Structure 1
Amino acid sequence: MIDFIRQSVLPFYGIPSADTSVSPLGNGHINDTFLVRWSQGELVLQKLNTQVFKTPNALVENADKIAQYLLNKKTRGAYSLSVVEPIRTQDGKLAVDLGEQGFWRAINYLPHSHSIDVVSTEDEAFAAAKAFGHFSSALSSLDATELADVIAQFHHLPGRIEQLQEAVAKDAKARVSTCREWVDFALSQQSLLKELNEISLKLPLRTCHNDTKINNMLFDKRDMSSLAIIDLDTCMKGHLMYDFGDMVRTFCSPEEEDSRALENVRVRESVFAAICRGYLSELGDVLSREERASLWLGARVICLMIGVRFLTDHLNGDVYFHIHHENHNLERAANQFTLYKSLLDQEKSLTSYLNVSG
């Protein structure tokens, strides 16, 4: 792969193959990401997973539109974070489409950047939530309908439940019997569908990040201040309750999302409170009353839905998420369902931080 990148991809960007360093970067589930360094610069190069992103041109066009919008805001002092922006090829294109050899795009590398996979302190949670809130607040004036849907019905719990039911019915890898407990649990939570149906029509469409994991907010390692929001692949129109929910999902547990130490997987109340403070400090005046009321539902839906997606992929033979060992997606699913249970157990105390009536 490294030799292929040097010989077949980098020339499109005018980067010499000799004396150029190419190394894997990050631990994403979907795309293959590399850091490229040479004597005159550095950039991040990605091979997009076109099995997941079936319209990759729409993805890079969305990302460019958002980057240019934020850069414009930044020049006017209305956006304080660094902006991850596309690097065009020598002939001005946003990507390199090599057919079966991959769809490649480059973005600027931010020096001094640092990411974390598990939130250790309330201050980290507050800073990241505030940064995601700042990102969404800056984009609140962008017409969300201008963005293409890169994955149709991405955060659509009814559809995800249907996919799980289909996977159970097919049982393509004869795995249902080994995880029946989690299958039954997931399918027993469909009361959320009624809540979703009742509130969704009341919510405005916003430009959403749709993947607000803790490692998609970069810290500046020099002082651990917020540096940038990255991974704009799933930015499209949607409801902000899902961005809030994904922060809860990825910030609140003291364990990584594939940890098998389920006895330690729980929602840390102090971290949840820090998320609410940080996020609402930027969006409190932007959110409608209905949007604020939807945030608790978003937290529950995302935790359940990601568990359902991991479980479905496990039953289908691990065709969507990258795995590193047998039963990896099942372990991820069990982890997310355990976190979801913790949310339900603490509903009274956690919802108090959202101040829905305020």
Structure 2
Amino acid sequence: MMEFIRQQVLPMYGLADATLSPLGNGHINRTFLVQTDNRSIVLQNINTQVFKQPEVLIANALSVAGHLVRKKANNDYRLDVIKPILTVSGQAFLDFKEQGFWRAISFLPNSQTIEVVENQSEAIMAASAFGHFAAALSDLSPELIDDVIPNFLDLPARINQLKQAVSDNKANRLTECQSWIELILQQAELVTEIQDLETKLPLRICHNDTKINNMLFNTQDMSSMAVIDLDTCMQGYLMYDFGDMVRAFCSPEAEDSAALENVIARPEIIQAAAKTYIKELDGVITPLEKHSLWVGLKAMALMLGCRFLTDFINGDVYFATHRPNHNLDRAANQLTIFTSLLEQETHLKVFFE
């Protein structure tokens, strides 16, 4: 792989004698940092099994980045923008067929990601950045952005995929996760509530993958620098962006931690995130959208748990795994957060009224 990148990919960007190193810990694409003495870029090998129309992904990213760049030029966007980098011949991507689909994006020096939010201050910073990002995209027409993964945040569809996985039982793993399967299948009332909400909420351009490690922090003062990974930017609802963000950092444990006794939805973190996110969207968010954020938080913890569990039952064919039962650990983690949310619902949902 490294030799192919050096010989075939890097020359297309006018780069030679570069150092290559893996970057990030994403589950889907393969990402590399490319560095020379005077230039650094991020190079990605897009997973075309997940993104079956990668050209659409590229077109969406160009539209979103272009919109944010114009906002920043008018002092209406305070974060940095991760921009697509064109080849020397002006191409936004490279399709080598059997050797993969590639694209390059800008690299921000002095930046880092975090995996776990330690305190309210970090929660406020993340919620502020993602809320600001959503507000900046609120005047970009949803019709300009196409779906890259149909039904990506469709809870009924995800539950149906779980049912199919259970029926097929390809990896013979059902005995290891029966209680988690039953928990998911008991949530028909929440599914109905979500379906009803979606008929009433405004459609917006959303990030759709707002976990904490999709935000860059400044290494000097840990201030927020940029929202990254725009691959899943599609039409959607704010409740899912908020829900994915908070389910990813409301627990003091990483999302694949097997220490379930320490996994809890921290109320002070949820309150800080809700207040900040809603403030950033002042003048944009509707009263119903504000209410829907609580529903979205429950939905995303349940949905991600369902997705991890489905992949575990299918034999780990979608998410990259790095240890035995990795997807089962991830599923149990997220479903424990979901259970914690339900246990605290009476006093948590007042943050969204």
> Into which bin does the TM-score normalised by the smaller protein fall?
over 0.9
Distance, in Å, in 2 between the alignment partners of 1:188 and 1:53 is 31
SS state at 1:34 partner: strand
Shift of 1:281: 1.4
Corresponding residue of 2:7? 7
Q: Tell me the amino acid that sits aligned with residue 349 of structure 2.
A: T
The normalised TM-score by structure 1 is: 0.97
Distance, in Å, in 2 between the alignment partners of 1:197 and 1:66 is 27
Distance, in Å, in 1 between the alignment partners of 2:78 and 2:244 is 23
Given that residues 128 and 278 in structure 1 are in contact (C-alpha distance below 8 angstroms), is that contact kept between their aligned partners in structure 2? no
Match of 1:181 among 179, 182, 185: 179
Q: Report the count of equivalent residues.
A: 353
Shift of 1:291: 0.8
Moved over 3 A (4+): none
Corresponding residue of 2:48? 50
Match of 1:285 among 277, 283, 286: 283
SS state at 2:230 partner: coil
Distance, in Å, in 2 between the alignment partners of 1:197 and 1:342 is 23
Shift of 1:277: 1.9
Q: Which runs of 5+ in 2 are unaligned?
A: none
Corresponding residue of 2:318? 320
Corresponding residue of 1:267? 265
Distance, in Å, in 1 between the alignment partners of 2:27 and 2:77 is 29
**What is the alpha-carbon root mean square deviation over aligned residues?**
0.8
Corresponding residue of 1:69? 67
SS state at 1:174 partner: coil
SS state at 2:76 partner: coil
Match of 2:255 among 254, 257, 262: 257
| Stretch of structure 1 that moved more, 142-151 or 285-294 | 285-294
Distance, in Å, in 2 between the alignment partners of 1:10 and 1:190 is 50
Match of 1:167 among 165, 168, 193: 165
Shift of 1:40: 2.5
SS state at 1:40 partner: coil
SS state at 2:175 partner: helix
Distance, in Å, in 2 between the alignment partners of 1:197 and 1:226 is 34
Corresponding residue of 1:246? 244
Match of 2:234 among 207, 232, 236: 236
Shift of 1:191: 1.5
SS state at 1:257 partner: coil
Q: For 1:78-99, what per-residue CA distance to the aligned partner results, in whole angstroms no more than 9, with x for missing partners?
A: 0010000100011111111111
SS state at 1:141 partner: coil
Match of 1:129 among 127, 133, 139: 127
Q: Tell me the amino acid that sits aligned with residue 290 of structure 2.
A: R
Shift of 1:39: 2.0
The normalised TM-score by structure 2 is: 0.99
SS state at 1:46 partner: strand
Distance, in Å, in 1 between the alignment partners of 2:301 and 2:179 is 17
Corresponding residue of 1:141? 139
Corresponding residue of 1:345? 343
Alignment of 1:14-53 (within 5 A): 14-16=14-16, 18=17, 20-53=18-51
Q: Which runs of 5+ in 1 are unaligned?
A: none
Corresponding residue of 2:84? 86
Distance, in Å, in 2 between the alignment partners of 1:158 and 1:353 is 26
